[in-house]
Structure 1
Amino acid sequence: MSLIARKGYTLERFLVFLTVGTQLPFDRLVKACELAQSSSNLDFDVTYQVGQHGYHPKVGRAREVMSRGEFEDTLRLSDLVITHAGIGTIVSCISIGKPLIVMPRQAALGEHRNDHQIATAKAIGSEIMVASNASEIGDFITDAVIRRKPGELRNNPLNTDFSNKLMNIIGF
């Protein structure tokens, strides 16, 4: 059973899934989404996957880690995904046609060993929403919630052109 179903979310509301991946917490991203959720008058729910020892937001529902099945269910049921610029999450979203917001980790802020996530975001940035700060996260969420109805994006067909471009970029 997905975290969404267990926590009582309704599929009538716009569902956002924030995931930081499995390697490191990404508190700057989690806090940016928390700020957007707590200061918005829009109706949306957020499931946060914050990583081990990651910051736990005061709004939404947070888990440090998820099983593969919980992750896939939550991803499938969400209307929008917010993530670091990890290629695994990006490929997962693209493969099911899930819209996403990406915020790359920055080495200068101690969020990663190097800036490969910035390079990834630059390489595919014209195809997805790439945020560099908290206010952009809020703006992108607002745009997604206002423009779309709950459930409209949950089962989008695969964007083949973009998937092919992405696979060429990452060398698959």
Structure 2
Amino acid sequence: MIFAIVGTQRFPFNRMFELIDEAIEAGIIEEEVVAQSGYTEYQPRNFTVIPFLTQEEMNEYVERSRCIISHAGVGSITNCLERGKPVIVIPRRKEWGEHVDDHQLEISKVFQDNGYVAVAESQAELQKLVPCIEELTFQPYVRKQSDLISSIKNYVNSL
């Protein structure tokens, strides 16, 4: 199974679902696809959508998945990486009304540059990545402690 995630912000991400539908119709994706659709209005022809899931339900779908196709939301990406799943990120774009700015391009680049994820911005890239995602080598993801938490720990330890 492939699990697709678009998050819960009030922006639809129709383009991502269109890319997945096209990959299924091209025979690139032959397995079941389930998607957390949020506010996305697109009605898929070839896969199941569930608008909103609890964190527990989300985790269950992630665990059952072969790979994840996700928007470039930090929480969505890190949740999947912490469970050892290969992630293909499709960043939302401001120019297509998918978000207020292009911060998701920046987020996806940072995760990709660190070797954690693969990024697909087009149908060709998605169709190239999906069949071989498990053969790619990714860096193990380890959540880094924030500077604030480190400062608090240092202060408490100094008492």
* Range class of TM-score, shorter chain: 0.7 to 0.9
Aligned length, in residue pairs: 144
Deviations 1:25-61 (A, max 9, x none): 2110111011101211653110011212421211121
TM-score, normalisation: structure 2: 0.80
TM-score, normalisation: structure 1: 0.74
Moved more, 133-142 or 79-88: 133-142
Residue 76 to residue 171, structure 1, CA distance change in 2 (3 Å): farther
Asked if 1:141 corresponds to 2:130, the answer is: yes
Q: Could you tell me how far apart the structure 1 residues matched to 2:66 and 2:30 are?
A: 13
Asked if 1:109 corresponds to 2:96, the answer is: yes
* Partner SS, residue 56 of structure 1: coil
Match of 2:157 in 1: none
Relative CO higher for 1 or 2, CA cutoff 8 Å, sep ≥ 6? Answer: 1
What percentage of aligned pairs have identical amino acids?
28
How do 1:4-15 and structure 2 match up within 5 A? 15=1
Asked if 1:54 corresponds to 2:33, the answer is: no
Is there any run of 5+ residues in structure 2 with no aligned partner, and where? 150-159
Q: Could you tell me how far apart the structure 1 residues matched to 2:98 and 2:147 are?
A: 22
Query: Aligned match of 1:163 in 142, 152, 156?
Result: 142
Match of 1:84 in 2: 71
RMSD across aligned C-alpha pairs, in angstroms?
2.5
Is there any run of 5+ residues in structure 1 with no aligned partner, and where? 1-14, 149-157
Q: Could you tell me how far apart the structure 1 residues matched to 2:146 and 2:20 are?
A: 28
Give yes or no for contact 1:47–1:62 (8 Å, CA) kept in 2. Answer: yes
Q: Could you tell me how far apart the structure 2 residues matched to 1:136 and 1:86 are?
A: 19
Match of 1:16 in 2: 2
Deviations 1:71-116 (A, max 9, x none): 1111111110001100001110111111100011111111101111
Moved more, 82-91 or 125-134: 125-134
Q: How big is the shift at 1:168?
A: 7.0
Q: How big is the shift at 1:142?
A: 2.0
How do 1:23-62 and structure 2 match up within 5 A? 23=9, 24-40=11-27, 43-62=30-49
* Partner SS, residue 163 of structure 1: coil
Q: How big is the shift at 1:133?
A: 1.1
Moved more, 130-139 or 48-57: 48-57
Q: Could you tell me how far apart the structure 2 residues matched to 1:113 and 1:29 are?
A: 17
Give yes or no for contact 1:123–1:169 (8 Å, CA) kept in 2. Answer: no
4+ residue segments displaced more than 6 Å: 168-172
Q: Could you tell me how far apart the structure 2 residues matched to 1:136 and 1:91 are?
A: 22
Q: How big is the shift at 1:63?
A: 1.5
